[in-house]
């Protein structure tokens, strides 16, 4: 099979030539926590963390799939299936001869997680069941109610897509903006559409399924009552928490109207109550927040208006709050130039108001290096500038009335470069696939051991890592020439590997295992795979301490591990190190 190297950020109307090279597929097996194959699991292999240029496949009856074809390079592998939770994403490497099978198993195994479940009932202040109450869930974990259904639908759409219907299988035509405010035809629907959770049945019962282990906050709201108190739960993998009771409370009606300063109703304004409920005003500018109690904070946003925070203290009588919004009629403009004063086109400019209420805005400079943002409110803003040929820059400024501050001009620097040769300290052989990192920028050496880091500014810390070699960190500064040539020699190291389980013996995927010297210096770290396996290369020989952090989704129920001592020998692999998390 053949495929082309992935291309990103293609300029419109640019003629692109794609060269086909030999491509490969990644063999994957998906199993449940007991090791039983999972048929029909959805597997995706993508070029980046955001899921760009995905390759997809569905597992057969043996839980196996071959995902691709893809060209050599680093990829992210994910899987999910009905009735299970997805494991942590895995980084996999496809080399010049195919998938790199570091463990000799012949396939990459992904272990799905057991979901947790909460069951309970919603009652009123007299302990009577309440039907139609919205049970809301707020979690410290990233995968929650409804996401499995969304993944399944998107996967089915991808499998059934017709590549001929659009370039490279994507949609044709103009991509519409994501609306920040509801259309008039959607007004009145926001109370239902904006909630994340489930609705109680006729007998007041509810069930929340497909929950990740970790901390979850749960409460209920209903139009005829004030919200229940928030309850917090720490769930373990596969746990069933039953008998939860959410009791709605007495309250008073909270209503309001949103107008401009001259009394014109604002249609489609958003009122965020901060508890999962977001309302929209009707054609009269009116909203109804139902029964509530105590202190309330309303965040009010309107199309073309300056956002506003309104604090209300409710007592024993119904409360109607009038709200006025001012128009966002200011603008912010500027110009981007290089060190010689020449304009730079196609610079991505992001403007972020620091009020915490207004959305970020993005635009690009034109041929004159100019940009402009309209419909802004006055106040402080942060602006970032990014272009592939210049050093990224950030600045702070203020939006003033009608742009009274004038254009904001910034100079982007081309920066300086480091041309690096990485070789072995003994024989001087070039080291391929060494990773060089400065800040958030990472490059990899070629077969000659060379790599170039550009767009650097000031004094930088250069970190070099390579599998099987002891890493190096150096401070590098520009000598005024704009280009530094640097040779870095790495010494041989040892390796250490093993597995990590939870307190009941299940493997833990996505745990970060770190190896330290006995003096406390970090020597290396790795993330465990779907079977709880981890491997760390390039460790200096000697006695070491192992530490481990559970994945974020399980940090509430698994305590960090520290104080596990072992040793590493030069050129050898310390194997079968078994680590185990305990409960806090």
Per the domain annotation, does 83 fall within a domain?
yes
286 and 213 belong to one structural domain: no
| Model pLDDT, residue 192 | 38
420 and 376 belong to one structural domain: no
| Model pLDDT, residue 99 | 83
**pLDDT truncated to tens, each residue of the chain (584 aa)?**
888 776 655 666 667 777 888 889 999 999 887 788 999 999 999 876 555 567 889 999 999 999 989 888 888 898 988 888 887 778 888 888 888 766 666 888 888 888 889 999 999 989 999 999 999 888 766 555 555 555 666 666 555 554 444 444 455 566 666 666 655 544 444 443 334 578 999 999 999 988 877 788 899 988 888 888 889 988 887 889 999 999 998 888 999 999 999 999 999 999 988 776 788 999 999 998 888 888 999 999 998 899 999 999 998 899 999 999 999 989 999 999 998 999 999 999 999 999 888 889 999 999 999 999 998 988 899 999 999 888 889 999 999 876 655 688 999 988 889 999 999 887 889 999 999 999 888 999 999 999 999 888 889 999 998 877 888 889 998 888 889 999 999 888 888 999 999 888 888 888 999 999 999 989 889 998 877 889 998 888 899 999 999 987 677 778 999 999 999 988 788 998 999 999 88
What's the token pair of residue 328?
């966002």
Closest CA relative to residue 435, chosen from 462, 460, 465, 456: 465
Whole-structure pTM value = 0.59
Distance CA 47, CA 80 (A): 18
Distance CA 327, CA 194 (A): 26
Between strands 64-70 and 24-31, the pairing is: antiparallel
Polymer length in residues for the chain: 584
What's the token pair of residue 71?
């060209």
| Model pLDDT, residue 579 | 96
Distance CA 71, CA 270 (A): 47
**The CATH number of the domain where 528 resides is what?**
2.60.40.10
434 and 551 belong to one structural domain: no
Per the domain annotation, does 170 fall within a domain?
no
527 and 504 in contact (C-beta within 8 Å)?
A: no
124 and 238 belong to one structural domain: yes
Q: Give the DSSP letter string of 399-435.
A: E-GGGTT--EEEE----EEEEEEEEETTT--B-TT-E
**The CATH number of the domain where 466 resides is what?**
2.60.40.1120
Per the domain annotation, does 399 fall within a domain?
yes
Alpha-carbon distances of 84 from 113, 234, 306, 581, rounded to whole Å: 6, 19, 44, 22
| Residue labelled with tokens 């007004």 | 187
Q: Structurally, how many domains does the chain consist of?
A: 6
306 and 366 belong to one structural domain: no
* Beta partners for residue 414, in sequence order: none
Would you tell me how many other CB atoms lie within 10 Å of the CB of residue 141? 19
Per the domain annotation, does 291 fall within a domain?
yes
**Domain endpoint, select from 273, 299, 325:** 325
Per the domain annotation, does 169 fall within a domain?
no
Residues near 483 by Cβ (< 8 Å), separated by ≥ 6?
Answer: 416, 417, 418, 419
390 and 433 belong to one structural domain: no
Residue 218 phi/psi, 5-degree rounding, is: -135, 135
440 and 505 belong to one structural domain: no
Distance CA 109, CA 32 (A): 10
62 and 121 belong to one structural domain: no
304 and 380 belong to one structural domain: no
565 and 546 in contact (C-beta within 8 Å)?
A: yes
24 and 132 belong to one structural domain: no
**Domain endpoint, select from 276, 292, 325:** 325
What SS3 class is residue 165? helix
Cα angle 428, 432, 433; round to 5: 140
Q: Which helix (H) or strand (E) holds 149?
A: helix 147-159
256 and 139 belong to one structural domain: no
| Model pLDDT, residue 158 | 57
290 and 336 belong to one structural domain: no
Cα angle 54, 153, 236; round to 5: 90
**Domain endpoint, select from 111, 128, 147:** 111
What's the token pair of residue 112?
């799905």
Residue 249 phi/psi, 5-degree rounding, is: -120, 165
| Model pLDDT, residue 162 | 46
Distance CA 311, CA 322 (A): 12
Residue 165 phi/psi, 5-degree rounding, is: -80, -10
237 and 224 in contact (C-beta within 8 Å)?
A: no
Burial class (CB in 10 A: 0-12, 13-18, 19+), 539: buried
Would you tell me how many other CB atoms lie within 10 Å of the CB of residue 404? 10
Per the domain annotation, does 33 fall within a domain?
yes
Can you give the residue range of the structural domain that contains 193? 116-162+182-247
Per the domain annotation, does 55 fall within a domain?
yes
Per the domain annotation, does 359 fall within a domain?
yes
| Model pLDDT, residue 303 | 87
361 and 350 in contact (C-beta within 8 Å)?
A: yes
């Amino acid at each position: 099979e053949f495929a082309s190297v992935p291309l990103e950020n293609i300029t419109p109307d640019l003629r692109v030539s794609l060269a086909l090279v030999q491509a490969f597929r990644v063999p994957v097996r998906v199993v449940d926590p007991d090791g039983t194959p999972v048929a029909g699991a959805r597997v995706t292999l993508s070029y980046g963390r955001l899921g760009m240029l995905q390759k997809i496949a569905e597992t057969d009856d043996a839980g196996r799939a071959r995902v691709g074809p893809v060209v050599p390079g680093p990829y992210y592998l994910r899987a999910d299936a009905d009735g299970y939770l997805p494991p942590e994403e895995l980084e996999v490497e496809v080399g010049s001869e195919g998938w790199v099978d570091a463990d000799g198993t012949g396939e990459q195994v992904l272990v799905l997680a057991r979901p947790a479940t909460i069951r309970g009932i919603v009652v009123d202040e007299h302990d009577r069941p309440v039907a139609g109450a919205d049970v809301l869930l707020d979690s410290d974990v990233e995968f929650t109610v409804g996401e499995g259904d969304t993944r399944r639908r998107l996967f089915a759409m991808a499998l059934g897509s017709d590549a001929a219907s659009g370039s490279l299988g994507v949609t044709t035509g103009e991509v519409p903006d994501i609306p920040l405010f509801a259309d008039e035809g959607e007004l009145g629907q926001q109370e239902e559409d904006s909630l994340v959770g489930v609705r109680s049945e006729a007998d007041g019962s509810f069930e929340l399924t497909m929950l990740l282990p970790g901390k979850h906050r749960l409460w209920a709201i209903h139009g005829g009552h004030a919200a229940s108190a928030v309850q917090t739960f720490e769930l373990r993998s596969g746990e069933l928490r039953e008998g939860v009771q959410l009791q709605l409370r007495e309250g008073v009606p909270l209503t309001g109207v949103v107008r401009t300063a001259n009394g014109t109703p604002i249609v489609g304004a958003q009122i965020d109550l901060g508890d999962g409920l977001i309302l929209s005003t009707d054609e009269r500018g009116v909203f109804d927040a139902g029964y509530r109690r105590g202190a309330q904070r309303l965040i009010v946003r309107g199309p073309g208006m300056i956002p506003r925070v309104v604090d209300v203290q409710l007592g024993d009588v119904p409360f109607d709050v009038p709200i006025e919004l001012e128009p966002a009629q200011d603008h912010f403009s500027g110009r981007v130039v290089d060190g010689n004063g020449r304009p730079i086109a196609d610079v991505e400019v992001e403007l972020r108001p620091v009020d915490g209420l207004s959305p970020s805005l993005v635009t690009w400079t034109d041929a004159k290096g100019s940009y402009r943002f309209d419909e802004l409110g006055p106040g402080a803003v942060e602006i970032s500038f990014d272009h592939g040929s210049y050093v990224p820059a950030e600045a702070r400024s203020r939006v003033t009335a009608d742009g009274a501050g004038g254009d904001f001009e910034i100079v982007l620097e081309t920066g300086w470069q480091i041309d690096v040769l990485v070789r072995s300290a003994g024989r001087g052989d070039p080291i391929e696939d060494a990773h060089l990192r400065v800040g958030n920028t990472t490059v990899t050496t070629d077969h000659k051991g060379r790599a170039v880091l550009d767009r650097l500014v000031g004094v930088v810390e250069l970190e070099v890592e390579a599998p099987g070699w002891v890493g190096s960190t150096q401070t590098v500064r520009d000598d005024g020439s704009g280009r530094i040539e640097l040779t870095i020699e790495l010494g041989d190291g040892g390796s250490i590997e093993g597995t990590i389980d939870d307190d009941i013996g299940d493997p833990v995927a996505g745990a970060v295992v770190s190896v330290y010297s006995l003096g406390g210096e970090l020597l290396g770290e790795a993330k465990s795979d779907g079977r709880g396996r981890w491997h760390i290369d390039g460790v200096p020989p000697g006695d070491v301490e192992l530490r481990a952090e559970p994945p974020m989704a399980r940090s509430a129920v698994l305590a960090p591990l520290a104080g596990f001592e072992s040793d590493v020998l030069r050129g050898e692999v310390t194997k079968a190190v078994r680590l185990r998390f305990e409960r806090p």
